[in-house]
Structure 1
Amino acid sequence: MTSFVSHTTVDCAHAYELFEWWKQLLGYVDVDGDPNLPGHEECMVLDPESGHRILFIEVPEPKSVKNRLHLDLRPRSGSRDDEVERVRSLGGTEVADHRGQHGPGTGWVVMADPEGNEFCILRSQAEVDAGAPVEQ
């Protein structure tokens, strides 16, 4: 017997606000029949292509340490660097820059959402296919 990942859950202080931010970042959509409204303590988004879901749930504790689990995001189009700039324009912040550590055109950038949850921006598939070494 095995299990599968039903959805990814993000603990947060403001579920609706973070849900809206990630929905814009990822191009995810609302789940049919599950209205997400200001003040809701749980809000879920859905990737219309893969079916992946992310649940934002309010908890009383603030984030206090580095994430032990995080999302690695690969741009659907454009480059990693374009996506880093887009994330910044949405209010994301850069935590660490690992570009070029394994040669020109390699690496990733660690970013944080408005509540400090960390995630990585990888190179696009087109950048990977162009021949630079794969991220470590």
Structure 2
Amino acid sequence: MTSYISHTTVDCHNAYELSEWWKPVLGYTDLEGDPNLPGHEECMIRDPETGHQLLFIEVPDETLPAKRIHFDLMPREGTRDEELARLLEHGATVVDDLRERWGPNTGWVVLADPEDNQFCILRSQAEREAAGRSQPDES
């Protein structure tokens, strides 16, 4: 079992303005059916050619952390919790467990690699579809 990068997350103070700034720089667009609007705390844009996605997410910190960009991983097969067990066995450590935070079958787990670089493990595509949500979890 392995994971893949679902999207790259950028911590920021104004998700809408930053996503709008990056769209023309990278040639990215809003997700179909999910336009970014002023006031949105999370704004996702994607490369129409490769499908790579960038998520801009507002954080309440007055001063943004030094590590503002992180990967959000999604299991290629199996479940989030099975992949979590594999990653912990591989040497990752739990930084914050946000499973079930927004109700049953929601959330993610924030992990750190051996050098304390943080990343998140999301629910698999099959888990999201079973819960009636096709878009990736966002961290």
TM-score by length of 1: 0.51
> What is aligned with 1:93?
93
8 Å contact from structure 2 (residues 75, 122) kept in 1? yes
Structure of larger gyration radius: 1
- Which consecutive unaligned segments of at least 5 residues does structure 1 have? 5-49, 53-64
The alignment partner of 2:69 has SS state of coil
- Which consecutive unaligned segments of at least 5 residues does structure 2 have? 1-23, 28-49, 53-64
Deviations 1:37-72 (A, max 9, x none): xxxxxxxxxxxxx8x8xxxxxxxxxxxx66211000
> What is aligned with 1:55?
none
> What is aligned with 1:76?
76
Q: How many residues align?
A: 79
CA–CA distance in structure 1, aligned partners of residues 117 and 74 of structure 2 = 17
**Higher strand content, 1 or 2:** 2
The alignment partner of 1:70 has SS state of strand
CA–CA distance in structure 1, aligned partners of residues 69 and 89 of structure 2 = 24
| 1:113-124 correspondence runs (5 A) | 113-124=113-124
CA–CA distance in structure 2, aligned partners of residues 132 and 100 of structure 1 = 15
Deviations 1:81-126 (A, max 9, x none): 0011100000000000000011111100000001000000000000
| 1:1-136 correspondence runs (5 A) | 2-3=25-26, 67-131=67-131, 135-136=137-138
Tell me the CA shift for residue 3 of structure 1. Answer: 3.5
The higher-RCO structure (CA 8 Å, 6+ apart) is 2
RMSD value, Cα: 2.5
